[in-house]
Structure 1
Amino acid sequence: MSLPSAVASPAAHDAYPDDLDPRVEALVKDLIGKVADKWTLIILEVLTEHGEQRFSRLGDLVGGISQKMLTQTLRQMERDGLLIRTIHPVIPPRVEYRLTELGLSLSEAFCGVWIWAAKHLEEVDRARQAFDERAKG
């Protein structure tokens, strides 16, 4: 595997182990496919700038996104451990979304996604497994 030239610079290379886990490469490709998605990037940006938001307000701040696409994108981000969905037990139910520390770190390190993926590989794997287990039950 070869690292992108920006990551392969001498300074960045020091943070990379010589025996890079091949799952890191798979995670980077997976996350780039998702995060580079228009809606994921915009939601990441909105939650970074505005903090925790209700579903309807988030849709307004994102702009031009259907409720179905917003729901799908938020679910995928939740599965990846990038955000937390909180349902408040009121009538009607109030749902809010906020970035996790993992989501905030991705926002901060977006240009360094390779290094970020190497650092958080296990955490994302655990978040995905936990989400999948909750979805089954």
Structure 2
Amino acid sequence: MNIRKKLRNHPEVHTGALNDILFILLLFFLIVSTLANPNVIKVSNPKGKSDTKAKQTVVITVDKNQQIYIGQTPVSIDSLPGALKEYLAKETDKPSVVINGDSTSHLGTAIKVMQIIKKLGATPVVAVDNSGAK
């Protein structure tokens, strides 16, 4: 009886070169994915100067119930152009209208107000409060 263990060669796969190739591919895809992001929208941000605050001609507020106010006066969406014309007729420069929207209000109402403001030749400015931002 031959009880000796047979010496067998165990086949080995050398993965050193494979690890290098995988590392290079990983770096390539990381770099390409940061350079070519299809979800980025390019916008032209305004440049700041010493005095960037525009003169507020009118302040329009849209509350959570989609009610529109010019100053403290409630106005319907249909009578908004006529009421705004009265305020904008007093201005000699290009007027700006500030829109204050409640955080729970619908965006559609604010967009309708912005379209009316643009049709009247004024500049709509949306007021944003970042004091509660994290």
Q: Sort the TM-score into its range (normalised by shorter chain).
A: under 0.3
TM-score normalised by length of structure 2: 0.22
TM-score normalised by length of structure 1: 0.22
* Structure with greater helix share of residues: 1
* Structure with greater strand share of residues: 2
Q: Which has the larger radius of gyration?
A: 2
Q: Identify the structure with bigger relative contact order (alpha carbons < 8 Å, sequence gap 6+).
A: 1
